[in-house]
Chains A and B, each alone.
Chain A
Amino acid sequence: DAKTTQPPSMDCAEGRAANLPCNHSTISGNEYVYWYRQIHSQGPQYIIHGLKNNETNEMASLIITEDRKSSTLILPHATLRDTAVYYCIVRVRDNYGQNFVFGPGTRLSVLP
């Protein structure tokens, strides 16, 4: 799996968009980008994933650069409940036995 690099922490004002960057310069052509988050000490929660195209769901948007070496998770209207640690992970999709490797992530603080 390609290694990812994320800033250790970020702040965002409540109601504004939160843009969380992730670098994955060694990503391979068949590796997907996944985002999870962990609120306080709860189990991680799946947010979104993508390969090449930008993706959007009810939680967030994922923007992947054309060269796929970096991506940005966007929370369009951050709330206090979005305060969490956000993990960017790259892995081969549905590979038998393939696991998610969690790094230290980005601690996002949404401020009132």
Chain B
Amino acid sequence: NAGVTQTPKFQVLKTGQSMTLQCAQDMNHEYMSWYRQDPGMGLRLIHYSVGAGITDQGEVPNGYNVSRSTTEDFPLRLLSAAPSQTSVYFCASRRRGYTDTQYFGPGTRLTVL
């Protein structure tokens, strides 16, 4: 299994540009989530999904959109990037009601100029 994969690894955007961060998992996990991590801080939840077609907001959802059309994929969209969205983004997945282990992807480092 590849586990949780994220693309791209690095991205530089200009203010106002849009982009999609990709996340995929091949473990058939129901639960997927997006976190952001700012320097010296812990991870903050952006959005999460408990299954295909079901998404909900986390702690810091503003400026981000998500959708979950398949079990495997959970893309994160930035509609109009702002410098405050400069951060490292992590995607994670786990089984619902089966295991407590949450698997994280390698992260995407995003810089918004």
Residue of A nearest to B100 (CB): A49
Nearest-neighbour CB distance to chain A for B93, whole angstroms, equals: 11
B100 touches A102 (CB 8 A): no
Per the CB 8 Å criterion, the residue count for chain B at the interface is 28
CB distance from B110 to the nearest CB of A (A): 13
Question: Which of the 9-residue segments B13-21, B43-51, B64-72, B74-82 touches chain A?
Answer: B43-51
State in angstroms the CA–CA spacing of A97 and B55 once bound together: 10
- Is there an interface contact between A94 and B97, defined as CB atoms closer than 8 Å? yes
Given A43-B92, A46-B101, the answer on whether A99 and B33 have CB atoms closer than 8 Å is yes
Residues in B whose Cβ lies below 8 Å from that of A96: 50, 96-97
- Asked whether any CB of chain A lies closer than 8 Å to the CB of B106, the reply is yes
CB-based contact B104/A45 at 8 Å? yes
A residues in contact (CB < 8 Å) with B: 32, 34, 36, 41-46, 49, 87, 93-94, 96-97, 99-105
Q: List 5 A-B contacts (CB under 8 A).
A: A43-B105, A87-B42, A96-B50, A97-B48, A99-B33
A44-B43, A102-B43 are known; give 13 further A-B pairs, CB within 8 A: A32-B100, A34-B100, A36-B102, A43-B90, A43-B103, A87-B42, A94-B98, A97-B50, A99-B33, A99-B58, A100-B43, A103-B42, A104-B41
